[in-house]
Structure 1
Amino acid sequence: MALFTSILALRHDKRILRLPPYLSALCVIIGIGWLLVLPLDEYSRRTYISENAILPGQVHTYFGGSEHNVFRAYRHEVHGLIDKGVAERSERLSAIFHEQNLKVATQHYNYTVSNRTIANENVYAILQGPRADATEAIVLIGAWKNMADEVNNSGVALVLTLARYFKRWSLWSKDIIFLIPGDSTIGPQAWVDAYHDGHDERYVESLKIKSGALQAAVAVDYPAGPWGHRYDKLHVVYDGINGQLPNLDLFNTAVHISSSQMGVGSVIQRMWDHKDTYKDRLQTMLRGMLSQGLGHATGPHSSFIPYHVDAITLVTVGNGYHDEITLGKTLESLFRSLNNLLEHLHQSFFFYLLLQHKRFVSIGTYLPSAMLIAINFSITAMALWVKSGRSPEPIANPASTQPKNPAFKTPAEKQKDAKTAEEEDEKKEKKDAPPRPTTLIEKNGSQSIHPTASTQISERTLLTPLLLLLTAHTIGLLPLYTFNNWHAPALPALYITTANLTTLLPLIISFLLFWNFPTILTPHTLCLLQSFSLLLLGMFLAALATLNFSLSVIVGSVCVPLSFVRRTRHVGLTAAQMLGLALLNPCMVVQMGTKLLGVSLAQVLVQGAVGWHVWGLWTQVVVWLVWFPAWLVGAVVVASGMWE
């Protein structure tokens, strides 16, 4: 009982508030350090196929011979359609599918994004499996243009060739859909939305023919010219919209078939020369986290994953001795494996980090990293909550009794100073007297602590900080709406203006509140405001970590300084904190990120608007409704010390 009483008495000890900053820093260090050890063999595993029914690479492939001549004929025909209009191109592709006795249809889509019209047409055909009952289907995709905006000449020709080749086989137990979208991102999204009746008929045409539930999708990106091009490796692209990933079994099946059966090397995340060292593993993991965190479409497959359709894209890279026959055999073997499935892929992982094409980290191993970073905000929030319930203490420079900037003193403060000037002599003796020390009193054989004035409980006023926090989150709606709907040519200029304005916004808000409402920005209110803001930030990031781990880690790492900035009257310290927060402004971070990655800011903004209207991208929601309000509150709290 004596030990229990002593532990309870510690809650009155103000020294306990000195621990949270160290605990928060420890959580951040361990969380980031946790990521750095993941590439080690002890914390990662070799990939394996969980679904035994797939049987990858267990069949003999027959694609070749005369099919090579058919492919070359289609390749020249596709090349001749490059300069044709969309309608003429779609008509000719439909005719080729008709010649193969397939059900063919087209789909027109017309999106308006940032006052720009994006219109094109998809062509697709359905091969009804001889042993199928039209309840399940697999999709083979060959986009007209790839992610580099190059005409996917050989890729489209290979899809046409495989459609003719697959038609001759009677072993298919699933329908096969051959899709040729107008581009690599918007076209597949329009098609898969319409397939699942999730489209807006004002912009996307409904599908005329359908098959059964989509089991998987494979896209081929082979932008060789009319004379072909030999490649060295296959780049397997697997990132989906909003960081969602396909079942790992599909990825492993494609890698196993290409590497073991066909002898084609596999690479991921643009790591063309992976030596399986710690540095290469870490770089691959960080590239994957960046791509997952951005949440953008990385290929035609990305649009299928949100509908729980496992999909990947196979991209030919390098200069080697492999040709279209090898790629055709790879796709044949892959579709033969998917044809064996009796149910949807579910055995393997849906949450993982790939270190190379044959090594991964599961969610149970990497998730604590994001949780530790999120917990650091919760620890600081709880410490500020406890501090707000205690009697206020002087902040920085307690020896100074006059404000640093008397020019900004409000009339109410001047009148108050005049009234209190007469009482200063009477209170001088009480102020000069030493504070009452904490004493220990023996009671029933135990010691109890009498709280001093600094540890006495005070009443919390919650309405004002809650309204201020709600206002900060409401402000984030303005850039969220503006950047997703503004004219595309004016987006860069608008972004630069927003970056400058938001950097000055904390100073403007704190000055206006101090001058017009001097009773609002009290230390008590600011303490509660920062506490609620960090508590919400920690909760959001912890929940986000289970949906998009990489985005949670990226935002959490950038927001770490918000746990340690405080209001102070020291001009130099306030200026240093404001300078650091200015660099952590979401607008500034995005702008610096585009320069480091070597991409155009205008392109990023336009793709973000397209993602919002077409893909259902939620990265902007996290940036403007989670990250920006937390940054704004932290900057306002620090800036309020400049007017004291």
Structure 2
Amino acid sequence: MALLCKSRVRGVLRPLLIRAAATLLALRKDARLLKVPPYLSALCIVVGVAWLLVLPLDEYSRRTYVSENALLPGQVHTYFTGSEHNVFRAYRQETAALADKSVEERTQRLSTILGAHNLKVATQRYEYHASGRNISDQNVYAILQGPRADATEAVVLIAAWRNMDGKINYSGVALVLTLARYFKRWSLWSKDIIFLISGDSTSGTQAWVDAYHDSHSPDTIEPLSIKSGALQGAVAVDYPAGPWGHRYDKLHILYDGVNGQLSNLDLFNTAVSIANGQMGIGCTLQRMWNHDDSYHQRLQTMLRGMISQGLGHASGPHSSFIPYHIDAITLQTVGDGWHDEMSLGRTLESLFRSLNNLLEHLHQSFFFYLLLQANRFVSIGTYLPSAMLIAVNFSISAIALWVLSGRPQTPTPNPASTKPPQPDQQAGEKANEKEKEQDKPTFIVAEIAGAKTLIPASSLEITERPLFLPLTFVLATHFLGLLPLYLFNHTPLPYLSYTFTFVALTTTLLPLLTATSLAHFQRPTPQERTLIQCFSLLLLGMFLAALATLNFSLSFLVGLLAAPLSFARASRNKGLSAVVGGLLLLLNPVVVVWAATLYFGQDVVEVLVKAAEGWHVWGLWTQVVVWLVWWPAWFAGSVVVAGGLVS
């Protein structure tokens, strides 16, 4: 009975499977199949952007919280007050007196002050070369050995001599000197505390942390003479009040690291909890001074954070520590209010007391997040799909182009039209019979679901794809991006403006010149041009998908700017090709950078100088993404479109 049932089921399913297989094979040759991918790619882009726009809503974001219970933020009584205020004002006058002194005199005096507190003091010289400039200064640092510590762990308190705006950090340096004297009197520290006064906000801290981990160049950076244990955290103070002091309104917390890396969210939440909850100091971020917690303000804060992370630049002294998996933030005073240096000192005291409680490195909270305000964030599992959808759209277009390249580009000519007239009627009749035999459909035997059936051979035909020229062109294009990458990172400052103009003009004209040269020497077929665009979009989608897990913001921004490449095609209509080519010229990465600097009111030369400094000092690789990922994809797409003009 069971065998009979099985045989009946097979008898019913076999014709269905045969019919389904025949339908699928016929679908491979259906021209309507290639009409779907462009709409699917557009849908991915629209959904990806819409996904990002709904993140500020309460349903897709969460309130911040401290995951590490051992931190206990704001649970201790702070004693930094009273007589310490007089000490701070004395040190502020000492700092003001050093403003016009040389680097050596300043270093010597700061070392003397720190050494007077029975701390181990050392200095470090550093020198960098970027854009023909010489960046050199000295760092001063001191180590307080924790009475309950075994020199295996340490936390760092930083004050750069000059902040990111180039102003002397008078009150910040004075506060660090005061806290060094104050912390020395306490016997509760279970970790060493390192007090670092760097020469500037980026190069000095980078040189110090590189030398601390023995990853520096001895030719330009002096090694550290004294060290402590593994660094567990770092907090920088940016309080550029003048020699006579200045009261502030809020604390601006900087948390962006180099290349879009972020510190553990617990450190940020601890600082906000202490400043806001314990000390009554308002906290803000991404220069949103008056945040009303509306959707518009949340979205603006998130987009500012994405732009900052996408650029990958150092936003403060803390940024140099994050690539070494050292959680770090910068506390910057802003506005005019009633808070003074004592409230900031108590905030730092409570924050270091919390870090002192840690038994292990911060790890329980998030390392990938988007902050909407000081008390609300979006985790990576919620925002990552938006960048992935943008990257997937390129892969969909690449697959569609691959399928298109396997189809005949031109109809097969009729053999009768190419044959010469026959000398006699008999030969003509034989030719006609031969043509009829050729026109008859041929079938092959295929086994489907255990049954042999006849399938038209035409449904299995695949056009041979020439891969040498497309692969060579795409690989050469990516290597070509090394030239502008080298030029912008090694050109001296006086020539950067001319270099930018030269690269902008060259990259604008290069697609048309390349397409003309190919048409003159190689004359690529439409199939080869399709394969060039296929491989280029495939690599772009792969790179952006991988980048999204490392730097979501950079992946999303580049993917959005390169999205039109998914729809740009070569056309026999020269007018349409000219319009598409003109639109692609506006999306030239060089043009986009120039337009962005105009929009944000920046000087393009200063941006290039900072980028070169980031390349040589911080290890910035945003330029690598621009010139070795984005620009080659734009160039390949522009050459394919320009091929429609010259063919």
CA distance in 2: counterparts of 1:306 and 1:534, whole angstroms: 30
CA distance in 2: counterparts of 1:551 and 1:485, whole angstroms: 23
CA distance in 2: counterparts of 1:13 and 1:449, whole angstroms: 16
Deviations 1:489-512 (A, max 9, x none): 211221111011101000000101
1:611: which partner in 2?
614
Report the AA paired with residue 603 of structure 1.
Answer: E
1:263: which partner in 2?
280
Correspondent of 2:503 among 495, 498, 502: 498
Report the AA paired with residue 516 of structure 1.
Answer: F
The correspondence of residues 299-314 of structure 1 with structure 2, limited to 5 A, is: 299-314=316-331
Report the AA paired with residue 555 of structure 1.
Answer: V
Give the match's secondary structure for 1:189.
helix
Correspondent of 1:486 among 488, 491, 513: 491
Matched, 1:52 2:57: no
Correspondent of 1:526 among 493, 512, 529: 529
Correspondent of 1:458 among 454, 460, 463: 463
Q: Note if contact 1:555-1:627 (Cα within 8 Å) is conserved in structure 2.
A: yes
The correspondence of residues 77-476 of structure 1 with structure 2, limited to 5 A, is: 77-393=94-410, 456-476=461-481
Change in Cα spacing, 1:449 to 1:45, as seen in structure 2 (3 Å) is farther
- How far did 1:113 drift? 1.2
1:7: which partner in 2?
24
- How far did 1:470 drift? 1.0
Q: Note if contact 2:443-2:457 (Cα within 8 Å) is conserved in structure 1.
A: no
Give the match's secondary structure for 2:80.
coil
Q: Note if contact 1:9-1:448 (Cα within 8 Å) is conserved in structure 2.
A: no
Correspondent of 2:587 among 569, 584, 609: 584
Change in Cα spacing, 1:259 to 1:446, as seen in structure 2 (3 Å) is farther
Report the AA paired with residue 261 of structure 1.
Answer: Q
- How far did 1:384 drift? 0.6
CA distance in 2: counterparts of 1:385 and 1:609, whole angstroms: 39
Change in Cα spacing, 1:228 to 1:572, as seen in structure 2 (3 Å) is same
2:630: which partner in 1?
627
CA distance in 2: counterparts of 1:438 and 1:37, whole angstroms: 55
- How far did 1:11 drift? 2.0
CA distance in 2: counterparts of 1:423 and 1:488, whole angstroms: 66
CA distance in 2: counterparts of 1:451 and 1:392, whole angstroms: 19
Report the AA paired with residue 600 of structure 1.
Answer: D
- How far did 1:456 drift? 4.2
1:593: which partner in 2?
596
CA distance in 2: counterparts of 1:577 and 1:143, whole angstroms: 50
CA distance in 2: counterparts of 1:376 and 1:494, whole angstroms: 34
CA distance in 2: counterparts of 1:7 and 1:569, whole angstroms: 31
Q: Note if contact 2:487-2:499 (Cα within 8 Å) is conserved in structure 1.
A: no
- How far did 1:446 drift? 13
In structure 2, the gaps of 5 or more residues are 1-13, 412-416, 422-431, 433-438
Report the AA paired with residue 645 of structure 2.
Answer: M
CA distance in 2: counterparts of 1:437 and 1:282, whole angstroms: 65
Q: Note if contact 1:9-1:449 (Cα within 8 Å) is conserved in structure 2.
A: no
Give the match's secondary structure for 2:571.
coil
CA distance in 1: counterparts of 2:518 and 2:218, whole angstroms: 48
Q: Note if contact 1:104-1:124 (Cα within 8 Å) is conserved in structure 2.
A: yes
- Of 108-117 and 579-588, deviating more is 108-117
1:568: which partner in 2?
571
CA distance in 2: counterparts of 1:324 and 1:456, whole angstroms: 79
CA distance in 2: counterparts of 1:152 and 1:381, whole angstroms: 53
CA distance in 1: counterparts of 2:452 and 2:388, whole angstroms: 40
1:509: which partner in 2?
514
TM-score normalized with structure 2 length: 0.91
Change in Cα spacing, 1:527 to 1:314, as seen in structure 2 (3 Å) is same
Q: Note if contact 1:391-1:456 (Cα within 8 Å) is conserved in structure 2.
A: no
Q: Note if contact 2:80-2:342 (Cα within 8 Å) is conserved in structure 1.
A: yes
CA distance in 2: counterparts of 1:597 and 1:437, whole angstroms: 68
Report the AA paired with residue 530 of structure 1.
Answer: Q
Give the match's secondary structure for 2:136.
strand
CA distance in 1: counterparts of 2:29 and 2:191, whole angstroms: 70
Report the AA paired with residue 181 of structure 2.
Answer: R
- How far did 1:393 drift? 3.6
- How far did 1:612 drift? 0.5
Matched, 1:66 2:69: no
- How far did 1:440 drift? 13
Give the match's secondary structure for 1:281.
helix
CA distance in 1: counterparts of 2:493 and 2:631, whole angstroms: 23
Report the AA paired with residue 143 of structure 1.
Answer: A
Correspondent of 1:535 among 499, 517, 538: 538
Report the AA paired with residue 529 of structure 1.
Answer: I
Deviations 1:593-620 (A, max 9, x none): 1111111111110011111111000100
Deviations 1:107-161 (A, max 9, x none): 0001111221111000000000000000000000000000110000000000000
Change in Cα spacing, 1:532 to 1:438, as seen in structure 2 (3 Å) is farther
Q: Note if contact 1:305-1:311 (Cα within 8 Å) is conserved in structure 2.
A: yes
Report the AA paired with residue 288 of structure 2.
Answer: M
Report the AA paired with residue 28 of structure 1.
Answer: I
TM-score normalized with structure 1 length: 0.91
Give the match's secondary structure for 2:127.
strand
Change in Cα spacing, 1:599 to 1:570, as seen in structure 2 (3 Å) is same
Report the AA paired with residue 72 of structure 2.
Answer: L
Report the AA paired with residue 254 of structure 1.
Answer: A
Change in Cα spacing, 1:132 to 1:525, as seen in structure 2 (3 Å) is same
The correspondence of residues 38-49 of structure 1 with structure 2, limited to 5 A, is: 38-49=55-66
Report the AA paired with residue 471 of structure 1.
Answer: A
- How far did 1:196 drift? 0.4
Report the AA paired with residue 494 of structure 2.
Answer: P
Change in Cα spacing, 1:98 to 1:496, as seen in structure 2 (3 Å) is same
- Larger C-alpha radius of gyration, 1 or 2? 2
- How far did 1:13 drift? 1.7
Give the match's secondary structure for 1:532.
helix
CA distance in 1: counterparts of 2:405 and 2:238, whole angstroms: 59
* Identical residues among aligned pairs (%): 66
- How far did 1:389 drift? 1.0
- How far did 1:80 drift? 0.7
Give the match's secondary structure for 1:559.
helix
Report the AA paired with residue 135 of structure 1.
Answer: T
Change in Cα spacing, 1:448 to 1:323, as seen in structure 2 (3 Å) is farther
Q: 4+ residue runs of structure 1 moved beyond 2 angstroms? A: 1-4, 6-9, 422-426, 436-441, 443-453
Correspondent of 1:545 among 539, 544, 548: 548
Give the match's secondary structure for 2:594.
helix
CA distance in 2: counterparts of 1:349 and 1:550, whole angstroms: 16
CA distance in 1: counterparts of 2:254 and 2:494, whole angstroms: 31
Matched, 1:557 2:564: no
CA distance in 1: counterparts of 2:126 and 2:607, whole angstroms: 23
- How far did 1:14 drift? 2.3
Give the match's secondary structure for 2:335.
strand
Change in Cα spacing, 1:21 to 1:439, as seen in structure 2 (3 Å) is farther
